[in-house]
Amino acid sequence: MVDAARPAMPAPVLEASGLCKRFSLHARGIGLNVLHGVHLAVHAGQVTVLTGPSGAGKSSILKAIYRTYLPTAGSLNYRTGAGEMVDLAKADDHTILHLRRWEIGYVAQFLHCLPRQPALDVVARPLVERGMNREQARAGARKILAHLRIPEALTNLPPATFSGGEKQRVNLARGFLTRPRLLLLDEPTASLDQESQERVIELILQAKAEGAAILAIFHDRSLIDRLADARVEVVPDVRVEPLGGDEGACRCDRP
């Protein structure tokens, strides 16, 4: 794990230090160590890109920050909009849910959404959960879906039947619409055509201009060159070991 070059600037929105992730697979009696003391910082108004080959653990870092994976060790110090410090690695579930609703967005590689719900409502839902009136939220959803070139006629259908690229754009629309302070993007343009990709880049640049801190994974080298303000290289190093008696401890920390 190599630190990104960090010029002098205000305190980061998120600072990971010593982040470790181990999966304890009890049925197989093995521990799978995938992250070993990751250090990184994500600043407001910047795009930080995780680089490294597939299988290096880039997605695992995003999931550990979002708490879809429970970090094994280390800290994830997040500065909230109100200026409080919260360690996302240790915060209670209610705090994480609160931050997910108001501050931290995550666009996964694949769209997970409620079945049978029209795309428009899938995208509008996070705003409705914030208490916005449904029609107002839908208007916002309609606008961002149009920007991402989803045909109006599709927006009233559930995304289950959409193409991969359309699903991905619905996913992105939902992620960007709430304007999160910290945005985690996992290969946001992987299955998009050139024109749609440009629209996504516009959204990223706009979010950045508005001060969002973005941590992203991009498949495409040219995109990294275009968008990255900082890079963090993730080195693949998966270690398998038998499960011992001290599952709580992390033995993978390196100086």
Partner 1 sequence: MNSAHENDRLLACRGLTRWHGSGCPACLEETGPERNTNVCPRCGTVVALAQASLDLRRGEVVGIIGESGSGKSTLVKMLYFDEEPSAGKAIFHGPEGVCELFELNAAQARKLRNRYLGIVYQNPHLGLNYRHSAGGNIAERLLLAGVSHYAEIRERARVLLRRTEVPEDRMDELPGRFSIGMQQRVQIAKALAPGPPLLLLDEVTTGLDVSVQARILDLILELQHELNIAMLVVTHDLGVVRLLAGRTLVLRLGRIVEAGLTDQILEDPQHPYTQQLISSAL
The binding site for partner 1 (CB under 8 A) comprises 23-27, 63, 67-70, 80, 84, 86, 91-98, 114-116, 128-129
Residue 20 beta carbon to partner 1: minimum distance, rounded to whole angstroms? 13
Q: Residue 247 Cβ, how far from partner 1 at the closest point, in Å? A: 9
Nearer to partner 1, 84 or 195 (CB): 84
- Provide the CB-side half-sphere exposure for 225 (13 A, CA): 3
Which residues lie closer than 8 Å to 216 by C-beta, 6 or more apart? Answer: 47, 48, 49, 50, 183, 184, 185, 186, 188, 204, 227
Q: Which two tokens stand for residue 58?
A: 């880039």
Angle at 89 between CA 224 and CA 102, to 5 degrees: 70
67/181 with CB nearer partner 1 = 67
Question: Are 171 and 108 a contacting pair, CB within 8 Å?
Answer: yes
Q: Which is nearer to partner 1, 101 or 147 (CB)?
A: 101
- In angstroms, what is the minimal distance from the CB of 149 to partner 1? 28
* DSSP class of 226: H
Q: How far is the CB of 156 from partner 1 (least distance, A)?
A: 16
Closer to partner 1 by Cβ: residue 80 or 191: 80
* Spacing of C-alpha 219 from chain mean position: 15
Residue 124 or 204: which CB sits closer to partner 1?
124
CB of 202 to partner 1, least distance (A): 29
Q: Do residues 231 and 42 lie in contact, with contact meaning Cβ atoms separated by under 8 Å?
A: no
Nearest distance, CB of residue 65 and partner 1, angstroms: 12
Helices (H) and strands (E) in the chain, counts: 7, 10
Query: How far is it, in rounded angstroms, from Cα 237 to Cα 252?
Result: 10
Residue 117 or 197: the one with the smaller Cβ distance to partner 1 is: 117
